[in-house]
C-alpha cells in the first residue's frame, strides 16, 4: 500500500509551520528526525511538479534538524566525522558531507554550514547525528558543546524564488551564490539564509530561528508570493529522481559506503586528515566497490515506488539490484528509478527486467544520473 493513516502524538514533533501547513491543505506527511514532513497537498504529484518548475513554492522542511557544534574543538570533531576535508572551508559556505562510521558505512549525508571559526551546523537527513557526534565527542573528551538549536528550515523553491526573496529581504539576497549563506533580518531576529534546497530548481533555505513567529514568516512569504503564483509544496518525487538526488534510508543506509552512493567526490583524495572509517574507506577504494547507485528507465504503465523495493534482474534472471525510489516522469515520458546495481552491469543501456508489484515484468535500461 502507498499510504495509510499516521497516528499522531507529541513524539512525532510539529514544527513552527505545521499550523499553516494544515491550514493550506496538507494531505499527507512522513516522519523524518522524529518530526513531521509534509509530503502532499491538494495538487497531484504531477501538477505540483509542473508548478515547481515554473513558479515558486514554500516548503516546511523543519525536519532537516541542525546539530550545532561550538567550542574550541568543534572543527576538529567535525573533521574527524567526515572524509571530506574542511581545512579550507570558509565562513558562509555550505559543504555537502558524507558522515561515516568505522566501517565506512553511511551514517548520514548532511549539509555542513560554517557559521564562525568555532561554530558549525550540520543539517541532517533522517538519523540522530546529534547522538553520534555527542557520543564521539564524549568518548574523545573534546571541548565542544553540541545541541539541537531551535532552528527550523523553510525552503523557498522554484525559478521565481529569487524574485520572491528579494521582495522580502532586499537585493542583497541576489549575491548569495549556490551553497553559500548570509544573515538576514526578519522582524528583529537574524536568520541564516542559504541558496540551496532539495530540488533541481533554484531556491533558498531560511534557517528560521525561534518557534512562535513561524506563522508570521509563512504569511509574509505567502503575501509576497501571491503575484508570483506561490503554492505550498514539499520535496517533489518526480523532480528529485530526475535530478538524481538521493534520500538517506531509501537509496542507501548504514550498510552502504560513500563510494557506492557516488559520493567519492566528497571523500578528499589522499587526505592528510584523520577521520573515522579512514582505514575501511581506503581498503574499499583499493579493492573497488561491488555495487553503486545508477538510474533505471522503463516504459509501461505509470509506476510509483512504495515501501517495498522493486527487484531488478538481467534478462537471464540474475538479480542485480532493487529500485528504491521510482516515479513516472511526465516530461521524459517514462518511469525513472534509482537502484544500487552490481558491478559488471553499470553500462549505460544495460538491459534489465524490473519486477513491479501486481503487474507483468517490465523491460528497462540502466541510465546515468541525473536523468537529463
Residues of this chain that bind a second copy (CB under 8 A): 1-14, 22, 26-31, 34, 36, 39-40, 101-102, 107, 126-129, 131-141, 148, 247-250, 254, 276, 305-309, 324-325
Contacts of 290 (CB under 8 A, 6+ apart): 342, 343
Least CB distance from residue 277 to a second copy, whole Å? 9
> Which CB, 194 or 305, lies closer to a second copy?
305
- What gap in Å lies between CA 8 and CA 70, rounded to an integer? 34
In terms of Cα–Cα distance, which of 269, 268, 258 is closest to 293?
258
> Which CB, 89 or 234, lies closer to a second copy?
234
In terms of Cα–Cα distance, which of 274, 328, 348, 293 is closest to 45?
328
Q: Say whether the peptide bond before residue 370 is cis (omega within 30 degrees of 0).
A: yes
Residues in the chain: 372
Least CB distance from residue 130 to a second copy, whole Å? 8
> Which CB, 100 or 230, lies closer to a second copy?
100
> Which CB, 279 or 344, lies closer to a second copy?
279
How far does Cα 299 stand from its chain's mean position?
27
> Which CB, 9 or 316, lies closer to a second copy?
9
- What gap in Å lies between CA 73 and CA 91, rounded to an integer? 16
**Buried b / exposed e across 32-47, counting CB within 10 Å, b at 16+?**
bbebbbbbbbebebbe
Least CB distance from residue 57 to a second copy, whole Å? 17
Least CB distance from residue 365 to a second copy, whole Å? 22
Least CB distance from residue 254 to a second copy, whole Å? 8
Amino acid at each position: 500500500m502507498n499510504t495509510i493513516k499516521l497516528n499522531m502524538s507529541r513524539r512525532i514533533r510539529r514544527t513552527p509551520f505545521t499550523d499553516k501547513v494544515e491550514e493550506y491543505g496538507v494531505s499527507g506527511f512522513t516522519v523524518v528526525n522524529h518530526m513531521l514532513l509534509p509530503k502532499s497537498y491538494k495538487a497531484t504529484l504531477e501538477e505540483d511538479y509542473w508548478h515547481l518548475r515554473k513558479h515558486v513554492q514554500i516548503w516546511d522542511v523543519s525536519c532537516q534538524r541542525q546539530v550545532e557544534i561550538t567550542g574550541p574543538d568543534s572543527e576538529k570533531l567535525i573533521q574527524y566525522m567526515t572524509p571530506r576535508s574542511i581545512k579550507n572551508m570558509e565562513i558562509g559556505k555550505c559543504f555537502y558531507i558524507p558522515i561515516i562510521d568505522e566501517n565506512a558505512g553511511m551514517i548520514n549525508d548532511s549539509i555542513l554550514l560554517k557559521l564562525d571559526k568555532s561554530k558549525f551546523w550540520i543539517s541532517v537527513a533522517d538519523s540522530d547525528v546529534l547522538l553520534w557526534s555527542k557520543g564521539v565527542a564524549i568518548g574523545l573528551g573534546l571541548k565542544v558543546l553540541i545541541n539541537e538549536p531551535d532552528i527550523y528550515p523553510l525552503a523557498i523553491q522554484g525559478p521565481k524564488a529569487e524574485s520572491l526573496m528579494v521582495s522580502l529581504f532586499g537585493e542583497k539576497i541576489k549575491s548569495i551564490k549556490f551553497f553559500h549563506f548570509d544573515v538576514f533580518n526578519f522582524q528583529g531576529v537574524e536568520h541564516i539564509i542559504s541558496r540551496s534546497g532539495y530540488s533541481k530548481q533554484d531556491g533558498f533555505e531560511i534557517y528560521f530561528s525561534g518557534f512562535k513567529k513561524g506563522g508570521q514568516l509563512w504569511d509574509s512569504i505567502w503575501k509576497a508570493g501571491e503575484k508570483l503564483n506561490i503554492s505550498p509544496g514539499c520535496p517533489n518525487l518526480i523532480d528529485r529522481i530526475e535530478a538524481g538526488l538521493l534520500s538517506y534510508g531509501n537509496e542507501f543506509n548504514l550498510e552502504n559506503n560513500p563510494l557506492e552512493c557516488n559520493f567519492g567526490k566528497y571523500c578528499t583524495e589522499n587526505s592528510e586528515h584523520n577521520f573515522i572509517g579512514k582505514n575501511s574507506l581506503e581498503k574499499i577504494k583499493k579493492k573497488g566497490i561491488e555495487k553503486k547507485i545508477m538510474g533505471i528507465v522503463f516504459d509501461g504503465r505509470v509506476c510509483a515506488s512504495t515501501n517495498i523495493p522493486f527487484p531488478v534482474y538481467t534478462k537471464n534472471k540474475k538479480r542485480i539490484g532493487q529500485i528504491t525510489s521510482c516515479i513516472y516522469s511526465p516530461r521524459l515520458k517514462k518511469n525513472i528509478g534509482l537502484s544500487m546495481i552490481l558491478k559488471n552491469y553499470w553500462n549505460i543501456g544495460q538491459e534489465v527486467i524490473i519486477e513491479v508489484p501486481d503487474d507483468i515484468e517490465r523491460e528497462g535500461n540502466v541510465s546515468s544520473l541525473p536523468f537529463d
